Amino acid sequence: MLRRVIRGGERADRVVAELRRLRPSWDDETWARVREAILDVIRHRLLLEAAGGSAEPRHVLATWHVMRELRVPVPLGRIDEPLVRARLTELGGDFRIRESVPEWLDAVAEAELGREPWRALMAALNQPARLYVRVNTLKTRLPELSARLRASGAEAIEVDGFPDALALTMARSVYATAEHAAGLLEVQDAASQAVSYRLGVTGGMRVIDGCAGAGGKTLHLAALMGNRGRLLALDTDAEKLETLRRRARRAGAGIVEARLVDTTKVVKRRHGSADRLLLDVPCSGLGVLRRNPEARWRLTPESLDRLRSLQREILTRYAPLVKPGGKMAYVTCSILTSEGEAQVRWFLEGQGEEWALEREERFGPPRQDTDCFYIALLIRRG
């Protein structure tokens, strides 16, 4: 499994999910330890390869056991533990190797963010992610959900500044809980929840989620609208939209209409119709490295350039959906200014007086223990 991520470039979450299906006898506690170990190996891949002197997954895993001061299992083979420890100490002084960052990405991020901010942020992104859930206010309220989760043995902590969020610590999978099955909660990072709040939706509005995907933010918008109005979820991926429909039924989000963007007419026919537009555009995903640590290895300079071009294309093509006086949120889960602030400046420079920036902000370490999100709220003047 580890080989498929390290050598094959597959997504870690998909490989991990497959592993769980293959090991149904594992209890939740065992499963949580295995999952975190796999992610930890991927986070420190470059350091482990350099300290162990090999990129062979079996050897990398043995080196990880030494790094975490664990007994090396016999099936992984023999390893010179004193030498590996010495190398880990020596290499710990090299930022790029210690934090396992591709050389080209280190140069880009340092140029955009500054040397020290980038290094501090990358160190934070190599820590395990906190688990957040969002209470579905269409079905319950945060105090009631919190009490139910605590009664089942979970630690549920309210999060300052995020009124629908709970930070969870629990032995079993949240997806296996009765609360999830009943649609009382959704797994969603606290910073991701902030996106829907910033859009300022109310009941009765016509709202469009232009890059809806599987619908995490769509469902939050429906709850904030009190299930009143019209909420159109657009995406180019039919499979993700089907997942969204299932989630909407479970959540009781009856105002959601999922529509596949299979021709340009789907967007053009709705020009000037939206009070609010959410554009959570495809991006590098560097802001969610704690959850998807392998993304740094899938990304290349060429793919980053393609993403920037796609972001500009989406901004230009979807912005006309907003009616005069309406608002649009441009969102990325990237740490790079070239995917955030610079894209918004580029858009505004080409719009004359038609659009204006109302606010922009970033979420994530060191201010919040969340994923990294950039949010820009723009208003259409005329």
- The question of whether 283 is a catalytic residue gets the answer no
- Cβ neighbours for 93, distance < 8 A, ≥ 6 positions apart: none
User: What is the reported pLDDT for 133?
Assistant: 97
Domain extent listing, the chain: 2-101, 131-187, 190-380
Q: 20 pLDDT exceeds 80? A: no
Grade residue 96 by pLDDT with cuts at 50, 70 and 90: very high
Grade residue 11 by pLDDT with cuts at 50, 70 and 90: confident
User: What is the reported pLDDT for 7?
Assistant: 62
Q: How far apart are CA 198 and CA 373, in angstroms?
A: 12
Q: 77 pLDDT exceeds 90? A: no
Kindly report which listed range (21-25, 330-334, 339-343) carries the lowest average pLDDT score.
Answer: 21-25
Q: 206 pLDDT exceeds 80? A: yes
Token pair in block for residue 32 = 């949580």
Q: How far apart are CA 62 and CA 74, in angstroms?
A: 9
Counting residues of the chain whose pLDDT is more than 90, the rounded percentage is: 83
Catalytic one among 211, 283, 333, 372? 333
Q: 363 pLDDT exceeds 90? A: yes
Residue 307 φ then ψ, to 5°: -65, -40
Q: 365 pLDDT exceeds 90? A: yes
Between 28 and 132, name the one with better pLDDT: 132
Question: Which tens digit of pLDDT belongs to each residue from 282-323?
Answer: 999 999 999 999 899 989 999 999 999 999 999 999 999 999
Counting residues of the chain whose pLDDT is more than 70, the rounded percentage is: 97
User: What is the reported pLDDT for 15?
Assistant: 72
Q: For 324-338, b where at least 16 C-beta lie within 10 A, e where not — what string?
A: eebbbbbbbbbbbbb
Token pair in block for residue 66 = 């030494």
Token pair in block for residue 2 = 């580890």
Average per-residue pLDDT in the chain?
93
Q: 2 pLDDT exceeds 70? A: no
Q: Domain 190-380: which CATH class?
A: alpha beta
Q: 220 pLDDT exceeds 70? A: yes
Closest CA to 220 of 190, 240, 243: 190
For the domain covering 131-187, report its CATH number. 3.30.70.1170
